[in-house]
Structure 1
Amino acid sequence: MLALQAILMGLAVTLVQVGGLAIDVIRFHAGSTTTLPTLPLEFTFPVSWSPMKQVVSLVVAMIVIAILRAALNYAYAITSGTLVQRKIVVDLRAKVYAKLQRLSLRFYNDQPAGTIINRVTGDVQATRMFIDGVLVQLSILAMSLVVYLTFMLRIHVGLTIACLITTPMIWWISIRFSRTVRPMYDRTRQLLDDLVLRVAESSDGVAVIKSLGRQEAEIKRFHQANDAVENQQQEVFTKVSRFGPLVGFLTQVNLVILLIYGGYLTSIGVLPLGTGLIVYAGLLQQFSNQVGNLSGLAGSIQESLTGARRVFEVLDASEEVSPPASPWTPDRVQGEIDLHSVWFEYQTGQPVLKDISIHIRPGERIAILGAVGQGKSTLLSLIPRFFDPQCGIVEVDGVDVRQWDLKTLRRSVGLVLQEPLLLSNTIGANIAFGVPGATREQVRMAARLAAAHDFIEESPDGYDTMLGEFGMSLSGGQRQRLALARAILTDPAILLLDDPVSAIDPETEHEIMCAMETASAGRTTLIVAHRLSTLRGADRVLVMEGGSIVQEGTHSELVRQTGPYRLVAQSQGIEVTN
């Protein structure tokens, strides 16, 4: 690309020089001068050529150069578009998305959804602008200024110094402008994040918005966010609009100096008209145009730098959960789990888990009871190593999970969340999401174990029925059973169930509990639950308060002890006796 630009600049200079040469030839034959101008590379016109033929040959040369420049400009546009749009943007977007998949859940907890979406879309385009509109253009600008300045100095040093007297002022103004607008572009990106987040939230919560009759209020909130973006962009536009004409005015001052001083030098015979003043005017105009591009380039630098910085924040973000240098991959996973004096905190000084020590035997079923915010889900997330504890060790089959091959560890753990994620795809594809190569019979078997086969067969296209976004066309119980089938299909040694029946009616709860009973057979199972109907079937129950385990035992043992478990049992109408 830069090589093409160098050739294009060389052709531009040559075109101007040939034009000036043509003017001097015409003046010679018109009798205005007594010396025939020298052709490039010491060439001379053949003696037999008439004045008209000499001028026509120069005009033809100008036309050929112009055609060649047009062809090279086309080649440059194609090369630039292919490199930037088809390679850099596509590859960079893929790299950002791939890095997002590797980052820990802590990153997602700290970043709003609108910000993440904007980094993959708008910020990648801003990075493209930084590469194409800043780095490439700055290289072209530097090259252009060197080329044009060299030729201008060759024509007349004093005239060049006089004509470029405003250039230092332009650079100073540009630096001041950049420092002023940089925070404004940062603020614009933040407001765009808020706008995208507003759309995402209202789209996900449309049922709640409609049920509460809040459409007008949400429209008003969107307009406020949209107006904030508009006002911020208008403020930036005002700054840029003032900067551009000021730079343009200063570059035109150079032309005034050229006409006064250059005209004087031509009038006293120091500077030729065509190859001197006219060529110099063309070079100065090109030089001034490049300097004038600073007005747009300075704004592009700050706008694109903001987006590029946000993209590279993702690419350079440390992977909190990184794979070990020599990962351990067992032939078979037993499902034994040990936590040794585990402490974990999302924010420094605010522990969510405090000195947790548990031993869970292979195939054991453990229920976890506790109020909201007591660390239950965090405890589960440490087993597949979504986070690493600040203190203590989490082991699976006697090996620290930090030494496990991450893919092997996570494929050995089946996870069913309170709000299962279903994709906009067929039912069969959703079940086989973790095992893309699964046969239809394997998918059916997993669905049967999860008590999902019957309602799937009743769907319009069975396992080929397309689900809408997040599977909202299904009931809560149906979504949970599909999520359970998806977890079962991976044949995990460990099954983690994060309160999967909290929002389910009693009849559906019974169906899901039966399905979970079947699915958990022979697997180490941890289930977060609040209903005693779920807790009764556990081999052991862990009761958590304030990030610590305050009670441990079977249902029959705990219900007879004074403590949180007994209070929960009484609140659900269970008669307890000492």
Structure 2
Amino acid sequence: MRLLRLAWGYRGWCAAMLVLQAVLMALAVMLVQIGGLAIDVIRFHAGDTPSMPTLPFGIRFPESWPAMTQVIALSGSMILIAVVRAALNYSYALVSGTLVHRKIVVDLRADVYAKLQRLSLRFYNDQPAGTIINRVTGDVQSTRTFIDGVLIQLSILVMSLVVYLFFMLRIDIGLTIVCLMTTPIVWWTSIRFSQAVRPMYDQTRHLFDALVLRVSESVDGVTVIKSLGRQSAEIARFKEANDLVQTQQQAVFVKVSRFGPSIQFLTQINLVVLLMYGGYLTSIDRLSLGSGLIVFAGLLQQFSNQVGNLSGLVGTVQQSLTGARRVFEVLDAAEEVVPPDDPWVPETVRGEIRFQGVWFQYGDGSPVLSDIVLKVRPGEKIAIMGAVGQGKSTLLSLIPRFYDPQCGTIEVDGVDVRRWDLPTLRRSVGLVLQEPLLLSNTIGANIAFGFPNASREQVRMAARLAAAHEFIEASPMGYDTMLGEFGMSLSGGQRQRLALARALLTDPAILLLDDPVSAIDPETEHEIVSAMNAASVGRTTLTVANRISTLRGADRIIILDHGRIVQEGSHEKLIDEAGHYRDVVLSQSSSESQP
């Protein structure tokens, strides 16, 4: 039904294509009929038939026209019809190309990408990157074939069969019935074939997803692969995935290759029957040679060709259905984070945050956060500490509504974040991740990514606040220096400071720092910590950290263990308590004191 509703949106274009095909079909029938008529005219003038054949619409040649003139007139009509058909075929190609490449694919790809932007991070946690890329590209192409390769072609097929059947019945009912006895077998065979190949097309898409994922992972991890000398192993892994795709596609190809000739063979039997029975009718003068047998043969050939197209059509149906199912899985995916009907837009944001009985889990797993109760005052600096997998990053992700908790509420300035205008909420929250994402663009454009209309002076101010201005100015073209993919030409500390500048450009009231110094060397760490301390002045700041240098400057430190807050207090308070914090401090102090 979704595919039919999709096609309905382009009904004007589809109708134009069908009208053009109907005219082309009518002209094709006229060509066959005029060809047969020309043969009968020649036979009449040769004395093989006693009467002049009747022209369409009761038209008669002038008696003064010699035989050759009549034949030339009929031949000229055929040439004229052929020219008109060529022009109409060109028009059909233009309409079809515009519909497919400028309408359906562009619109559907844009719809899928827009939906991906609205889905919560939970969807991305469950879907490999290769699968998502493949759905936006290959599956969209497969889906559009339902309209031009299935719906339109099926309509043309049905229309053709009806038209050719009508004209064949007009010539001779008995001959038509005898010649089409194989048609039910063809339809039954096509249905069985369709049922057999659909799982094979599904498996092909899954294997191709795995192949795309393999390429994506190898490109992202090329440094690790080369450093460990794993090139040969990765080539072998890619070859294995590629061979699986090839084997599966070959299995589909073999099945389709067998089906096509089988259908063609069944349809060619019709012509054998025609020559035998139709020839007999002609020999006893029940059927004329030109406008009877030869025209019937032309119509039957066209009819058989359309039936033969079932082999390609059945394969296209299964490809389009497989691609459409995967595309509509994205378009129909529930939007977990739904904007409120009456969004709350504050005049100013103070930055107070309150967690009240918050529980959160991914899928059917164990809770990642359990009964979190926490109040953060405006301008307060909170550090969050805990072992890997204790819910620290998840806690931060709930504030800008990347996810919604299963139980409890998160409030910003006393208002549930579910009631906030979502763009306003996220503009009020600056986020710096452990691995910052930089785009293939200029340094200035990367900083201004969240605020494209920012002036160059505003960009510079954010960079100064993030301690990034100095190294930017030292770059070859300053703020106009182009960065490569993911900013790999920069050091880790430089990328982190650009990410901090980007987060600060919108002057957010809340700053979330997700362990930004975990992968930074001690010297660079000092620069980043200094930049973070300067950036957090006057802002509510939550920092995920495990290094004492970062934790020490916080107003309050939260210790998470198995998703629960087990300790809370200042550095001085927690260092005097037995527990996880003091153990980590003593461990790090011991490591630093060793030569």
Scaled to the shorter chain, the TM-score interval is over 0.9
SS of equivalent to 2:482: coil
Structure-2 residue corresponding to 1:357: 373
> For 1:327, which of 339, 343, 349 is the aligned residue?
343
Q: Letter of the aligned partner of 2:362 in structure 1? A: Y
Alignment deviations for residues 126-180 of structure 1 (CA, whole Å, 9 cap, x no partner): 1232222122211111111111111111111111111111111111111111111
> For 2:496, which of 472, 477, 480 is the aligned residue?
480
TM superposition score normalised by structure 2: 0.95
> For 2:324, which of 285, 304, 308 is the aligned residue?
308
Asked if 1:66 corresponds to 2:82, the answer is: yes
In structure 2, the gaps of 5 or more residues are 1-16
Counterpart Cα distance in 1 of 2:290 and 2:252: 44
Q: Letter of the aligned partner of 1:122 in structure 2? A: G
Asked if 1:139 corresponds to 2:155, the answer is: yes
Alignment deviations for residues 184-242 of structure 1 (CA, whole Å, 9 cap, x no partner): 11111111111111111111111111110111111111111111111111111110111
**How do residues 100-139 of structure 1 correspond to structure 2 at under 5 angstroms?**
100-139=116-155
Structure-2 residue corresponding to 1:278: 294
Counterpart Cα distance in 1 of 2:166 and 2:224: 69
Counterpart Cα distance in 2 of 1:561 and 1:207: 43
Structure-1 residue corresponding to 2:403: 387
Counterpart Cα distance in 2 of 1:463 and 1:221: 41
What displacement does 1:574 show? 6.7
> For 1:81, which of 91, 97, 110 is the aligned residue?
97
Counterpart Cα distance in 2 of 1:146 and 1:396: 67
Counterpart Cα distance in 1 of 2:536 and 2:171: 88
In structure 1, the gaps of 5 or more residues are none
**How do residues 13-412 of structure 1 correspond to structure 2 at under 5 angstroms?**
13-412=29-428
Alignment deviations for residues 231-266 of structure 1 (CA, whole Å, 9 cap, x no partner): 111111110111011000000001111111111122
Asked if 1:570 corresponds to 2:586, the answer is: yes
TM superposition score normalised by structure 1: 0.98
Counterpart Cα distance in 1 of 2:254 and 2:499: 53
Counterpart Cα distance in 2 of 1:255 and 1:46: 37
Counterpart Cα distance in 1 of 2:573 and 2:66: 118
What displacement does 1:306 show? 1.2
Alignment deviations for residues 452-504 of structure 1 (CA, whole Å, 9 cap, x no partner): 01111111111111111100111111100000000000110110000000011
What displacement does 1:377 show? 0.5
Counterpart Cα distance in 2 of 1:280 and 1:334: 84
Structure-1 residue corresponding to 2:11: none
> For 2:512, which of 496, 500, 503 is the aligned residue?
496
Alignment deviations for residues 274-313 of structure 1 (CA, whole Å, 9 cap, x no partner): 1111111000000000000111111111122211221121
Q: Letter of the aligned partner of 2:151 in structure 1? A: L
Counterpart Cα distance in 2 of 1:286 and 1:371: 73
Q: Name segments (4+ residues, structure 1) moved above 6 Å.
A: none
What displacement does 1:536 show? 1.1
What displacement does 1:349 show? 4.7
Q: Letter of the aligned partner of 1:501 in structure 2? A: V
Counterpart Cα distance in 2 of 1:207 and 1:493: 38
Structure-2 residue corresponding to 1:532: 548
**How many residues in Structure 1 have an aligned counterpart in Structure 2?**
575
Structure-2 residue corresponding to 1:468: 484
> For 2:448, which of 427, 432, 439 is the aligned residue?
432
Q: Letter of the aligned partner of 1:51 in structure 2? A: A
SS of equivalent to 1:354: strand
SS of equivalent to 1:409: helix
> For 2:530, which of 514, 519, 529 is the aligned residue?
514
SS of equivalent to 1:17: helix
Q: Letter of the aligned partner of 1:490 in structure 2? A: T
